[in-house]
Structures are given as C-alpha cells and as structure tokens.
Structure 1
Amino acid sequence: MRKENCDFKTGFLSEAGSFLQNKDYFAYTELDDVACWVAVKGLDADQEISSAELAVKAILEKFMEKPAMSRRAINKYLRHAQNILQAQSLRVRLKASIVIVVSDYSKMIVGVAGNSRLYHFRNGTLTYRSTDQSLAQEIVNSQNRSLDISQHEERGNLLNYLGKPNKFQPFVSKKMKLTDGDVLLLCTAGFWGDVSEIEMADALEGVKDSEQYTDLLEEILLSRQRKVVENYTVAAIFVNKVYQETNKNKMKYIKMIAAALVLALVVGGGTIFYQVKQAKKLAELTVEMKDHEKSGNVYFQDGNYDEALLAYSEGRNAAKKLKDPIHRNLLARKLRVTQLIINGDKSAETGKFTEALEHYEKAKKEGKLINGFGKEEVEQRIANMDSVVEIVDAIKDADFRFEAEDYNGALAIYEKARKKALAISFTGETQIKTKIEDTEEKINELKKVQKELKAEGLEKSGDQSYARQEYVQAIESYTLAQEIYQETELLAKVLGLERKIMNANDKLNPVPQVQPADNALPNEAEPPVDEVTDAS
C-alpha cells in the first residue's frame, strides 16, 4: 500500500478565461500503488463534444482498467485516447494537446502529445520541463540556442497532437526519481504562455500547499490584464513525502554500495578520484554560472531583457548548486531589476503610467545595491515618460479612428507615433508597426473595392451601349473595365469581358456573306399544276 506511506497533495484550477466555454480539462486518480494526472487543452471548435474531457476520461478509464507505470503502458493510454478522438470526429476533427504524469509515489514517467507541459521543481529550482511537440520547439532544437518559446509565433503550430490523422507519435519520458519536497506543475498553453518559469519558481517561496500555489499563479496570470485571456489549466502536485523502498530493497542497495566501495579500495585511490570528480564538477558549475551572468549582461545592454532574464535565472541556479551566496544574491538582484524593467515597459505600453513609474523606481532602488545596475536604462525610461504618454494617447486616438473606419486618419497618427517611439526606443514600437500594417491593408482593401465598383459601372455602361448598337462605345467601356479587373486579379471577370468585346467586334465588323456565282441558276420554282376539270 504505497499510497498510505507517502504524502502527495494536488491542487488545481481550470478556467474559461475570456470565453464562454472552457475547452481545457484536468482530472487525476490516486490508486494504492500508482497514480495518474492528466491535463488536456482542446484544439478544435466543436461546440457539442469536449475533446479535452473525452481524452482525459479515455486515459483514466484505460489506466484504471490496467494500472501500470511503464513507458509501454503510457503509450497505450495515449493511443487509446487518440483512437477515441478519431472515432468521435463526426462533424469536425477533434484535436487536443495532452500531458500525462504517472507515478508509483517514488518515481514518475511523463507523456506529451502537443504543447501541454509538465514542470518539475526541486528546492525551488526548475530541474525538468517537458518538451513541446511544436515547430517552435523544432526551431530551438535545430538552432541549439535558448529561445523564449512562449513568445514565438510558431508555438501553437503543433507537429503532433491527439487526433492527428496519421503518424501519431507521442513523447514518453524515462523514469525520473522523486524526492521529498518536489513540486510538479501540469499546465496548458493558456497558462504557460503568460507565466514564465522564473515566476513559477519564485511563487514557490513562502507557499504552504498546492492550492495556495495555484491561486498565486492565477493571480500572476491575471495581473497581465490581457484583452483576451485564453482557457487555462494549472495543477500543482506537492510531493511532501515519497514512498520509501522496503528494507529488502534497501539491503540490496546497501550491498551494491558496499561492493562498489570494496572495488574502489581494491583499485586504490577511490576517495581521491571522487574528490577530483567533485572538484571538476564545481569548476564546471563556476564556469557555467559566470558564462550565464556574462550572457545576461550582454543581453541587458542590448535591451533584450527577456533573454537577460533567462540567463540570470540560469546563473542563479548554478550559484545555488555551488552554494555561493554572494553570486546567488547578486544574480537574484539583477534578475529582479530586469523583471521590474519588463513589468514597467508592459505597464507603460498599456497606459498604466503610474504603475510603470513605480516599477522603474523600484528597479532603480534595487540597482543601487549592486553598483547602480540598470541605472542608465531606468533613468532614460523615467525621462521619456512624457513622450510615452503622448505615444500611448496617440495610439488610442488612432485606434478610435480605425474602429470608425477612418483608416487614412488612423494611418497618419500611427506613423507619427511610431516615429516618436523609434526616437526613444519605446518597446511598444513593434505593436505600432503591426497596427500600421493592418491599417494599410484596410486601405488597400477599400481601394480594391472602389476599383471593382468603377469597373462594374464601366461594364454596365458598355452593356447599355451594346443594347443601343453603339458598338464602338461598348468596346471602349468594356476594355477600360477589363483593365481594372486585371489589376484587381478578378480573372473570371476579365474572361467574361473578353467574350463581350468579341461579340461587339463581330457586330461592328460583320463577316460578309458569300455571293452566288454569275452562271448559277436561281432555284427553279415548281411549275404550276394545270387545273383539272372534273368531266363528270
């Protein structure tokens, strides 16, 4: 009875966000010797069938029928859910992204199809994150560099998922050991897309249980104040106490360790070898820590704060492993300053200027403790705040004009706002650029409609001229209309007018009739029939 000799606590929440229907689903079951947790995000638009709920129930049904913790068993659970979704795809193709965790209360195995995720924290540090099956992940893997997938435009372009028509290939991990105090976090893309790994780790400090942790994470998510909040699901498993192996197994491990020690003594120098190995490991960690700090500094100077945040976080983790409190605190403060600048920029972009100034002032204060780190960047932002206010106000005005379909007026204001944004390196400049592109697209659409209306008018005028047998005027109107249709790429209209032009030309220049030869005799009429008088 493993469950009675361990302590696993699960807390979760799953919400619809800004939508009426929640397409996410989470459920779990804890049996005597093995447990299963499943989080799924529905990816289809079916309003009657919940693909996420269908997948979760299919998994747990199969699991409870044959509970097991092996890669082969988990593969079977996932393929069973895959078959169920394919069989139920009647109106639309049912699709879902899934993460499943199976544990025997001392180890775990993770299965993934799509981009729902598992995060594994130990001592407040992220030790494992499941790999997405997306194009963004493939790009990261192929380029072999660190990249914030949550901001990548291809993060939702899934290469594998439940319901895939063919070549369904889920990822199933090897067994991973659990220890007392571990925290497992299952979540869908609606959550991890807005809450960073650093925030997940930082939120662990001071929380007492899984429910308090998920509530705090939800506060972080909602503090982003997005106009549209996606469906989101997050489940936290606090591994307060893992199942301890029996004395029989312990003796087996003790004998193995004893044998290893005897071997080391026979060979000689075992202790020295261990010390050298430890020293080498510490040296590698020191180099890793310094490299991450150096990379973070470069990213920070370049204004790439998201990458700097990640580098400082990895450096701090290395410092924790080294048990180096000086560098740990130094990197933690750099991390804090960077995060405050990011938060300030986001607040400024959304027009929360007072909140933005508070973040910048806090960043300035934190930076003073480490030789004025970030002082120049923060002071520049504070000095530019008046310009930022003007830019944000201008964007609001342009947005209003855009909604009122005054696209030319909106475009002029957007372009002026972008020019100011470029002058002060305002972080919202890319958003303004996108708005300009959207506005230009609307203007081009209107121009196209106007051209089409003009062409239709010319075609109608040509039809009227043709009806009056004014074929020259008809051809002129048709030709002008045809040129406009060619510009707007309405090929069917172009071909239709080509036929009308040919018909008008035929009427204007009729084909001459063939005249009979001079010696040809006219058709002889039948001779009249002589009247016959009835003699009788």
Structure 2
Amino acid sequence: MRKENSNFKTSFLSEAGSFLQNKDYFAYTELDDVACWVAVKGLDSDQEISSAELAVKAILEKFMEKPSMSRRRIKHYLKYAQDILQAQSLRVRLKASIVIVVSDYSKMIVAVAGNSRLYHFRNGTLTFKSTDQSLAQELVNDRNRSLDISQHEERTNLLNYLGKPKDFQPFVSKKIKLMDDDVLVLCTAGFWEDVNEIEMADALEDAKEPEKYIDVLEEVLLSRQKKVVNNYTIAAIFANKVYQETNKKKMKYIKMIAAALVLALVVGGGTIFYQAKQAKKMAELTVEMKDHEKSGNLYFQDGTYDKALLEYSEGRNAAKKLKDPIHRNVLAKKLRVTDLIISGDKAAEEGKFNDALESYEKAKKEGKLIKDFGKAVVEQRIANMDTIVQIAEAVKDGDFQFEAEDYNGALETYQKARKKALTIAYTGEPEIKTKIEDTEAKIAELKKAQKELKAEGLEKSGDQSYARQEFGKAIEYYTLAQEIYQETELLSKVLGLERKVMNANDKLNPPPQAPAADTAPSDQAAPPTNEGTAASEPTDAEVMKEGK
C-alpha cells in the first residue's frame, strides 16, 4: 500500500488572532492510497454557523465516500461543498476561500477557490505557488507578473469563492510530481499577507519536523507586531519519502541517459572551463561572505547596529548565492537579532516600553539558536529598562519646564537624565545632549539680553549726568556700559560710547585758550583799566586845568 511505503508528516495550527472567533478551519485525512488536506477561511459574518467548518467537512465527507486523484472528482467535491454553503445561507450568504491538496503519495493535485494558498518547496526553493482568484491577481497577470499582491488593496476582492451565487469556477491543477523531502504549506490570507515565501524558505533551514517549522512561521508572523492580527491557519506537510512507482519505460530513460553522455563528451572541454571559472567565483563569494560577517560582528560589538544590519544582510545574500545553508541561516539569525534590538531601542526612545521589552525578549530567544548571539547586549537592555523609564520621565519633565520658560530648572533636569543615560549607554543620550545644548543657548541668550538691558540703563544714566554737567559721573556710567557692550560684542555701541566719553572729558578738562595777536609784550605794563575810552578825547580835569 502506498501510505505504508511513504512517509508524510503533517502539522498545523489555526488561531483566532485578535478576534474572539476563529473563522478558519483545517482538517485532513490520509487513506491507504490517497490523502486529502483542506484549509478554509470563512468570509461571512455569521456568528452561529462556521462556513469554513461546513466546507471542510463536506469536502472530506465526499472524499471518504469516493477517494480519487481525478480532477473531475475533485471538482465534484468542491461542488458539493458549494451546494452545502448555499443551502445553509439562511440569515446571511455563507462564503469561504478554500485550498485543497489531494495526493497519492507520489503526485498531487491542487484546487483553489478564492485566495487561500498552497506553497510547494523543494530543496529550500519555492517551485510552485497556487494562483489567487482575486481582482488583484488578475491585475498582476495583466500588467506585472512579478508584483507582490500581499498588500494590494484588491487582494480580498475575490472573483470566485465557495458560496458564490452563480458561475462557480474553481481552479484545479494538473498532476504535480512530488519528490523526497518536498514541503507543502497550506495557509489562509491571515498568514500569507504578512509572511512572504522568502521567509517561509528561510524558516526551513533548521526545521527537521513540521511542528518546529510551524512554530517558526508563527513567530515570524507575530513578530510583525500588528495592532490587529487576523484569523490565520498554517499547515505544513513534510514529504520525507514519496511512494516510488514502477518504471515501465526504462528503455526511454536509457536512451535519454545515453544521449546526455554523448552531449557531455562533446562539450566536456567547455564544462571543465566553466567549472574552473565557477570555482573561482565561489571562492570570491566565500571571502565576501566572511568579510561581511566579520564587519557585521565588529559593528555589533561597537553598538553600531544599523551598519551591522547592512553587513549581515550582504553576507546572507552572498551565502544564498553560494547555496551555503549553514552560513545563510547563521547570518539570517544575526540579522534578525540585530533588527529586533534596533526595533527595541526605537520603541524605548518613543516611550513604548512594553514594545521595547517584547523586542528584546524575542532577540534573546532567537539569539539562543546561534550560541546566545547578542545575549549580553539584550540582557543589559532588559536590566536597564527601569532606568530607561526614569530617564524618559525626567526628559518629559524637562520638556515641560522648558515650555514653561523655566530654563534653569529644565537644564538641571536634563543634566540629571543625561548622567543616568551615560551610565547605561542609553541610545537616546545624544538627543538629551541636544536638549541640554538648546537650553544652555536659551539661557545664554537671556543673559545677554539682561546685560544689554543693564548697559542701556547705565548709558541712559550717563546721558542724564552729562545733561546736569556732572561730567565725571557721566564718564563713569559710560565706561561701565562700554565694558558690558564689549562682553556682548555690540561693537557699534562700544564705538558710540567712546565718542560720548571723549565729549565728557572735553567738558571736564577744557583745553587752554591761545593768546591774541595784538597783545603787549610780557615785559611791558598792562593797558589801563579804562582801555575802552578814546585817547583823543580830553578828560574833564584836563579841560579845567587848561582854563585856569
């Protein structure tokens, strides 16, 4: 029997997310010769009937009656589920998005109605992804096949789904061959909208069992830290060993192998050259990968996490090109831990302390997978969380004092906060330093204004003394004002006062008068006191004398 000669392991989880009710549903059955897995997302708002559960049970009921790998039969299963949902649509129209995988342990057929998905991985690489039946997918098909529709606004605008009133046309694939160690992932939109196929492939690096793989995928989903988490379902099928069918066409393959050998002989020389060139390229990539990791480690040790993040990313890309799963996984983990530390630091600076603590705890947990990478850094941050809260509160108080124009109080508060920040190497310390500098500048500006006001008062007092002809006092006032203006670097004021001092000095100490040009020599007698009378006119005495 096929099941006994193969090894398929399945694990799944289906959660309500942020909601009280989980509208998703998953179930499967493995029979001797064929198996069926079904994942469904309910799209209606009915609180009493679960359209997803109805659809899954209807599919498995018909499958158990007539298990088959026939495409026609699978369409019949879907049509039966469609009829059940339409019949039960009493209060509201029941709707659901479904993905089905039917396998004979050697091949599989995939059926889709809506936007629930299947991802098929082989050797860590995505080989097949089911196509959504949505307007977003149709737009992508028409315009740009490489576009990611995980956040497209029309991703939930379904063109086909279980419960559609008419023209129900599900997609049913042709048979797809399976190989040993293939991995199948069935999921609903609540999962694939936030976790892409690259992350799904990365999570396969260490996952040896589907249970472990599912746990890692859920961690990736929840690490997005979205305010609202939708219902999500993830199911992983590890095809560790597929059923080997008898090969009735051996001669055909022998001929193909012979032709391949002839071709190899013809192009052998070129192959050798190619291999040498490829080996050189691989060696260069190896050096590049190790250099990036080394640089990333140095930046991490220095606390320059943004640069470390870039180096680890470049190193991981090189590891991917090398197809080196060990280094790729190590670098991916270091990248993840570094990113969580950066997120935690940012949340702490924004005052979101619960978010910061959650990021640090996740970093600590993920770092354990690579020899406790970043453990000391993260544990120190967790231990410092109380101090960080105190710093944030102090900065908030300082901001309040600054807004109230209590600049001296704000400066003292900021300085205390910075002192604590320096003791724990808090990443927000530079911002506190800037606040201190701004506050000091404001205080200096006020002091300068006060000095200028005092100088203006002294200058005014000098002007008043000058007006009262108290020139000595005026000079004193002017000199004091001039010194203050020099301190505040108001040179125009300094020069203006210099002129006022000179004028006051001139009034206080007037210069001596120069002698007149017709003055008698110093050795001759001074002119008489009546020098103002004319010499030609005789006096009264002289007239009387002459009359006698």
TM-score by length of 1: 0.54
Contact residue 99 and residue 186 of structure 1 kept, 8 A: yes
Establish whether residue 258 from structure 1 lines up as the match of residue 254 from structure 2.
yes
Residue deviations 1:462-487 (CA, integer Å, cap 9, x gap): xxxxxxxxxxxxxxxxxxxxxxxxxx
Give the letter for the 1:109 counterpart. I
Alignment partner, residue 146 of structure 1: 147
Name the amino acid aligned to 1:25.
Y
Corresponding position of 1:34: 34
What SS class does the counterpart of residue 151 from structure 1 fall into? Answer: coil
* Structure 1 residues 358 and 262: alpha-carbon distance in aligned structure 2, compared to 1, 3 A threshold: closer
Residue in 2 aligned with 1:531? none
Q: Give the counterpart letter for 2:253 in structure 1.
A: I
Unaligned runs of 5+ in 2: 286-305, 307-311, 365-387, 397-430, 432-548
> Is the CA contact (8 Å cut-off) linking 2:205 and 2:329 kept in structure 1?
no
> What is the CA distance between 1:174 and its match in structure 2?
2.3
CA distance in 1, matches of 2:270, 2:53: 51
Paired residues for 1:88-237 under 5 Å: 88-141=88-141, 142-147=143-148, 149-237=149-237
Question: 1:150 aligns to what SS in structure 2?
Answer: coil
Q: Compute the displacement of 1:115 (Å).
A: 1.1
Aligned AA for 2:136?
A
Please tell me the residue identity of whatever aligns with 1:143.
Answer: N
Find the aligned partners of 2:339 and 2:78 in 1 and give their Cα distance.
Answer: 38
Cα displacement (A) at 1:275: 5.4
Separation in 2, partners of 1:360, 1:3: 41
Letter in structure 1 aligned against 2:41: K
Check the 8 A contact 1:347/1:355 in 2, yes or no: no
What is the CA distance between 1:78 and its match in structure 2? 1.7
2:84 matched to which residue of 1?
A: 84
Closer/same/farther in 2, CA of residues 336 and 94 from structure 1, 3 Å limit: same
Find the counterpart in structure 2 of residue 406 from structure 1. Answer: none
When residues 243 and 360 of structure 1 are mapped into structure 2, their CA distance, relative to the original with a 3 A threshold, is: closer
TM superposition shift of 1:118: 1.2
Please tell me whether the aligned partners of residues 28 and 38 of structure 1 are also in contact (alpha carbons under 8 angstroms).
Answer: yes
Rg larger in structure? 2
SS at match of 2:38: strand
Which residue of structure 1 aligns with residue 447 of structure 2? none
Q: Report the number of matched residues.
A: 367
Distance 1:72 1:13, change over 3 A: same
Distance 1:263 1:170, change over 3 A: same
Using the alignment, how far apart are the partners of 1:337 and 1:140 within structure 2? 34
Offset from partner CA, 1:500-533 (integer Å, 9 cap, x none) = xxxxxxxxxxxxxxxxxxxxxxxxxxxxxxxxxx
Paired residue type of 1:260: M
CA distance in 1, matches of 2:63, 2:125: 31
Kindly report which structure 2 residues correspond to 1:52-67, keeping only aligned pairs within 5 A, or say none: 52-67=52-67
Conserved 8 A contact 2:341-2:360: no
2:249 aligns to what SS in structure 1?
helix
**CA separation of 1:181 and 1:51: change in aligned 2, threshold 3 A:** same
Cα distance between partner residues in 2 of 1:130 and 1:329:
27
Q: Summarize the Cα distance change of 1:130–1:76 in structure 2 as closer, same or farther, 3 Å threshold.
A: same
Write the distance in 1 (CA, Å) between the matches of 2:75 and 2:201: 30
Offset at 1:269? Answer: 6.3
CA displacement at 1:37 relative to structure 2:
0.1
Per-residue CA distance 1:249-287 (angstroms, 9 max, x = gap): 2x523x2111234556889966669959x98xx99x99x
- Return closer, same or farther for 1:79/1:337 CA change in 2, 3 Å cut-off: same
SS at match of 2:121: strand
Shift of 1:355: 6.5
Q: Which amino acid aligns with 2:94?
A: L
8 Å contact kept, 1:125–1:201:
yes
> How many Å separate the matches in 1 of 2:192 and 2:94?
23
By how many angstroms is 1:4 displaced?
A: 0.4
Q: Any idea what SS the aligned residue of 1:110 has? A: strand
Q: For residues 220 and 266 of structure 1, do their structure 2 counterparts lie closer, same or farther at Cα, with a shift above 3 Å needed? A: closer
1:37-48 superposed matches below 5 A = 37-48=37-48
The one-letter code of the counterpart of 1:191 is F
Measure how far apart 1:145 and its partner are.
3.3
Per-residue CA distance 1:414-436 (angstroms, 9 max, x = gap): xxxxxxxxxx9xxxxxxxxxxxx
Distance in 1 separating the partners of 2:270 and 2:110: 32
Amino acid at match of 1:145: S
Change (3 A) 1:65 1:355: closer
Contact 1:315 1:331 in 2 (8 A): no
- Cα 1:338–1:87 change in 2 (3 A) is farther
TM-score calculated relative to the size of structure 2: 0.53
Unpaired runs of 5+ residues, structure 1, are 290-302, 304-308, 362-384, 394-423, 425-536
**Shift in alpha-carbon separation, 1:31–1:359, aligned structure 2, 3 A:** closer
User: For residue 102 of structure 1, what is the amino acid of its counterpart?
Assistant: V
Alpha-carbon separation, structure 2, partners of 1:268 and 1:197: 35
